[in-house]
Homo-oligomer: A and B are copies of this chain.
Amino acid sequence: MQPPAHVIGEFLNQAIRLAVRNVSDGGGPFGAVVVTADGRTHDGVNRVTLDNDPTAHAEVVAIRKAAAASGSFDLSGAVLYASCEPCPLCLAAALWARVDRVYFAADRYSAAAAGFDDALFHEYFDGDRPELMPVSHTDLPASDLPFHAWRDNPDRTEY
């Protein structure tokens, strides 16, 4: 079920305000809000340079906070609002968190114009820029041992 347009606008504007304030605070120009199924909001801002954490994108920070506050790695029913189009890192984080849907305000081209690689990394996932980071498969005799251990563990928590 989609939220009403005015709700989408409100949360997107909240994410934008977080992003603007984060620039004054020395961070990157990105903000995000996760609204969990229980209606609570969890916000995040980009802390990559402040925390020396290349994964601390606003959406990832908001998702991690939402999951911690919910006591669950599964945020089914949640909606993610982002000041800017989520990059592949943030989309994948939202997929693993089982976020229902995503809304964003600015797009990847505005981010690119401001000097960020979001659009470039989308191209990598489109298969157009494989040279950015070569990935090689080296199968080994032990490759599947972790999965055997997993299946043999009756106490495993699946996700």
Residues of A within 8 A of B (CB): 8-9, 12-13, 16, 19-20, 22-24, 26, 28-31, 48-49, 52-55, 57, 60, 63-64, 67-68, 70-75, 83-89, 91-107, 110-111, 113-117, 121, 124-125, 132-140, 142-147, 149-151, 153, 155-159
Contact = CB atoms under 8 A, between A and B. Distances in A.
B55 A13 contact: no
A134 B96 CA distance: 14
B54 A146 contact: no
The count of identical subunits is 2
B114 A96 contact: no
Main secondary structure of the interface of A (DSSP, over half): mixed
A55 B62 CA distance: 11
